[in-house]
Structure 1
Amino acid sequence: MGFSLPRVVPAKKLLRRSLSNSSKAASMAVDVPKGHLAVYVGENKKKRFVVPVSFLSQPSFQDLLTRAEEEYGYDHPMGGLTIPCSEDAFIDVISNLNAA
């Protein structure tokens, strides 16, 4: 009984591919320290936040990611990870994760 694992794309290749889409994205990617990722949050105007990758495994952050998937799917025109919630709600989640 066998199973196959999905193809894993090295992060550097994925990052290079996404950066080639926009020079603005290339200049902003430099601002993200190792072990972090940039997300865009907001209902009308999007604000950029840099969060630790460790947040991805937290249930409250995964709820936000599920909402983003339902709203945008995996092909969002903005090119970045966009979370459809208010800045205040996002800051509350992040504050709780930082306190833990």
Structure 2
Amino acid sequence: MSYASWIPVMIVMTVLMVQVNVGMAQDCKLPFQLAPCLSFITSNIAPAADSQCCNVLHDQTSCLCSFVKNPVYAWILHLPGATTVANACSITIPDPSTCT
């Protein structure tokens, strides 16, 4: 199995092993709410702007600072595919140093 094949497995394992609201507001549930984006992120393919992925990203925009500051989730948002998805959905992944 190639290294790239292990990324989705690692993401699923992280989702299953981590509590959802570790240091976050109750409605910021990255692993579960952004699940429609994981295949796009891991394959570095842009979703359609009206896709379910983009819709949940827009719904979770206020949570992105919490996600990038949390080491449990931040690595997912630092994958090259996350930038591709963010650009396709017209979302900016914030720099953790600019988050309050």
- In the superposition, the TM-score normalised over structure 1's length comes to 0.27
Higher percent of residues as helix:
2
Which structure has the higher relative contact order (CA within 8 Å, separation 6+)?
A: 2
TM-score, structure 2 as length reference:
0.27
Which structure has the bigger radius of gyration?
1
